Every structure is written in structure tokens, then in C-alpha cells.
Chains A and B, each alone.
Chain A
Amino acid sequence: MNLQEAFKEIFVFFFKQELKSKRTRIFFLISFLPVLILVITKIVELTNPHTDVTAAQVFSRAMLIVYIQFLIPILALFFGSSIINEEVDNKTLVFLTTSPIPKSSIVLGKFVAYVLLGGIIVNIGLFLCFLTVNIDQLGEMVYVKEFFSFLGVGFLALVAYMALFTLLGAIMKKAGVVLGLLFIFGWENLVQYFPGVTQKFTVIHWIKSMLPYVSEGNSFLRILMFRLEPSSNAESLVVLTIFVIAALAAASFVFKNKEYILSDSV
């Protein structure tokens, strides 16, 4: 079977399987939490016109950052690290690797299935947030440009993070999750404050460079939204594309050549 056909079979099977899985439902719920907060804010705004905080402000300051800087990396870590490791944990890897399909099709097929699924989870949440903000002004919607920009950039962020964690998951089993969490909440949070090229060694720098800049916020939110020395959109897009291709190629290479011992350890 050639790469294209194998990729298609793997993609269809795992996309359908994952769509009905419990963890997808849980992530849908998590993705709807910001929507809930926004709905509450909107209700407060509509019932109390003198309120200080409006749904639009919350949307622009925090909702999208919650998706971009928290939910998307976590989703990517969850699914990306699972691409190979769940097959090893469940011992179903043997079914895939004893089939006459290129090994890279397994990695790529599952990757695209999970990216698509993650994209649906995030984008439905984002769309509902956007709808909630504009529910009383559908004729004159606000933050339309930001919304589409976040949809696109958010999806790109998902692809980039998932490629990284797919590679991490291919190389290591247990430590991959811990390293991924340290990367998201440690390295990426710290390094963006460092001037110069160091911040370019994060995914979030390139993502934020493509996002519309938001200057307000406080404490936790301010830390999330801060960005220093952004790169241009074109440079960010090119770097992320190259990064994704390289990470997936490396993951496929590792998967093709590595032995995975199916033991009963965690």
C-alpha cells in the first residue's frame, strides 16, 4: 500500500475513533469553559449596563489567550504525545507495524486526524465565544478581524505544538509528558522575557508575533499576553512551516527506526 492510501486509511480510522472517545468529550467541555465565562459576562453586561468589564473586553484580553497559550498547547501535548505512546500502551502498535503500510503514514495519518480534531474542538469554542460577544449586535460585529486571525493562528499553533510533541512522544515515553509540560509552562513562559534571539527558540514567540497585540491585562493575564520583539508575519509563517515539516520528518524517522518494547509499564 502506498503512502497516500495508507495515510487516508489511518486518518479516517483514527479520526472516527477519536471523535467518539471520552477524552474528546472532556476536551470539548474544557474548551467550552471560556464560552461559559463569556456567557456569564455577557448576561451581566446586558443586565447591568454600567458594568466595568464587558464581554468584548474579556474576549479580546483573555479568552483568546486562554485558547492560544493554554488550551492549544495542552491539547497538542495530550494528543501529540499519544500518537505513538498510546499504541505502545495499548499494545496495538503491533497491528499497525505488521501491516504493509509505510511507517510514516501511521505518524502522519494520526497527526492529521488529531490536528483536525483539536482544531474542531478549539474553533467551535472560539466561534461560540465570538458569537456570545456579538449576540446583541449581529449586524455590527466587533473583533471580526481578530476572530479570524485567532482562528487561523490558533490552528497554526495547534499544528506546530502537536508536531513538536509528536516528535517528543516518538523519542520518549514517560518523560515526554513532563518535558512537554515544562516546555509549555516553564521554558516558553520564562524565555519570552529574554531579549535577543533566545525567545525565538519557542513556538509561542512566532505565534504571538502573528496575533494582534493586546496591551492590557493584569498579573496572570499580563504575563500570558506579554510579548517582546515580535517577528514579522511572513518570517513567523515560514519558520513555523519549516519547523512543522522538520518535526514530523524527524518523528517519522525515529518511529521507523526505533524499537518499541510493548511492556506493561506505565
Chain B
Amino acid sequence: MTQMTIREKGYHSWDGQLQPSTLQWLPMFFNGIKAAFKKKFAKGVFIFCVIPFFVFLIGIYVSTRPELRMMREIVRLLNDEPRFFNIFLTNGTLTFMFVLLGAFMGAELISQDVKFNSFPLYFARPLDRKDYIFGKFSILMFYYLLFSLVPGILLFIFKIIFTGKLAIGFNTLLGLIIVPPVVAFYIASIVLLLSSFSRSARHVKIFIFITYFLTQGISELLVEIFDSSYFHLISIADIIKQMGTFVFNVAPEHRYPGWLSLVVMIVLSLGAYWLLYHRIGKLEAQIESGN
């Protein structure tokens, strides 16, 4: 008679055959979106994030009514379509709102899992680290694109409606498609990496803001000390602006090649993803060993 082995009762990593599917993380995405909407101040933060869209929308409308003589700066911008959309997608206010969203929505995405030792719950299912990270990214990316890509497209549609002109420049189209996801991925990777470093979401929130303001301050200092615009690459807000000017092919904000911003953002984002991937592995191992 074959002796039955006593299996250890408890969570253990899924060791079955993983079916080839790239959407294992989808339930995490839906769950995360629902959970974010239920947060106490969610509606307030969302309203705040949508303000730039309405400002620019009003600007588009006002541009078709010259007799109103309002918002002249924005109206003047509309004559330079790529610049208009570049400023909408890369202005400092929107970037700060993304940081705020990151702190509000993203701070606890991984820190809560660390605090409550939730990794066995995930990895005892047919999910690997990549799926876990994709799931977390997808939540943040959803909100970032909701407040950048979607309003950008809507602004474009409203522009067509109000001005009656259907034509779209190649750079505008390219910018509308590329800039929002690049910005979203860049900020999301920073937020999630910071979230993985602490059990306390409160601490992560503060560190997100520290990172944003510190990089800004250090960048300004170094630019002044070395009289070199390259140090703007350190600042989150400045690198986004410069990247936007490159993609939309408008006059650059700072005196260094715009393509460098795009490259640095992509490299930093991938680097953050790589760090996060290994960090999750380390955390999972720590939890399994009982620490």
C-alpha cells in the first residue's frame, strides 16, 4: 500500500503548469479600480485632477468666440496645436496632480501587501511576479491615462467640434498617443517602487512628495551651480516637460536634447520595474521564511 505523505497545510507557491496567458493580473486591476473609487476622498481628488481639462476646454470654446476676450494665453496657444496639447499633457499642475494621485491611490498598493503579508495569497495562485506587478501598474496607469490620455483625446474632439477643422498634425497625433503612457508609466514606476519599501502607506505618501520636491530642488541647485541644463533631467516635472517638447516637436523648455528626456524616462522606468521585480521577490522570500 502506498504511504500517503502529509502535506504541509499552508500557503505555498503555485507549482502547477502555468497556462500561457498574459491577463492573469486582470482581476487585480478590476479589484483595484473598485477599491480606489470607494476611498473617502476619491471623488475630491478626481475632481481636482480634471480641472486642467476643463480649463483647456473652456479655452478651446473661448477661442471660437473672440468677442469674449478671455483666457488669451490659452487662445493664443491654440494657434500652435502641438504646443497646446503639449502644455496640456506636460504642465506642472497636471504632473503635481499625478504625484497627488500616486500618493493617494498608489502609496498603499504594495505597502499594504507588505504590511499584511499578502504575498502568499497572490503567489499561491497561478500568478507570477510579473503578473503581480502588472496588476498593480494597471491600476495606477488606468487613473493616469483617465486624466491625461482620455481628456487629451476629448479635447481634440471638442476642438474639432468647436473649430470645425478636422485636420490633425502628425506631431500632435504622435504626442497624444505617446506622451500620456510614457508619463504615466514613469510616475507609476516611481510610486510603486517607493510603495514597496515601506509597510506604512503614510510613510510612502510622504516619501512620494519628498521625491517630487527634492528632485525639483536638487535639479535647480545643480543647474545653477554647474550652469548646465542637463541637470533638469533629475527633476520629475522638468523631464516630463522636455520629453513633451521632443515628441510634439515644439520649442524645448531647456537647453539639452529632448530625446534624452524620453530615453532617460524609459530607462528609469524600466530600471524601477527591474528593482521592483527583485524587491517583490525578496519580500516574498522574507515572508516565507517567517520574517
Contact = CB atoms under 8 A, between A and B. Distances in A.
Complex A–B touching at CB under 8 A: yes
A266 to B, nearest CB: 5
A249 interface: no
A74 interface: yes
A44 B220 contact: no
Contacts of A62: 221, 224
Nearest to B205: A177
A37 B214 contact: no
B43 interface: no
A264 B116 contact: yes
Contacts of A193: none
B225 A33 contact: no
A78 B206 contact: yes
Interface in A230-266: 264, 266
A117 to B, nearest CB: 15
Residues of A contacting B: mostly: helix
A44 B214 contact: no
B226 A220 contact: no
B202 A70 contact: no
A58 B225 contact: yes
A78 B210 CA distance: 10
B200 interface: yes
A199 interface: no
A192 interface: no
23 contacts: A30-B210, A44-B226, A53-B224, A53-B226, A53-B227, A62-B221, A70-B213, A70-B214, A74-B206, A78-B206, A82-B203, A85-B202, A86-B200, A89-B202, A174-B40, A174-B202, A175-B41, A178-B205, A181-B205, A220-B217, A220-B220, A221-B221, A266-B201
Closest 10 CB pairs between A and B? A220-B220, A266-B201, A53-B225, A41-B225, A78-B206, A266-B108, A177-B205, A62-B221, A177-B202, A181-B209
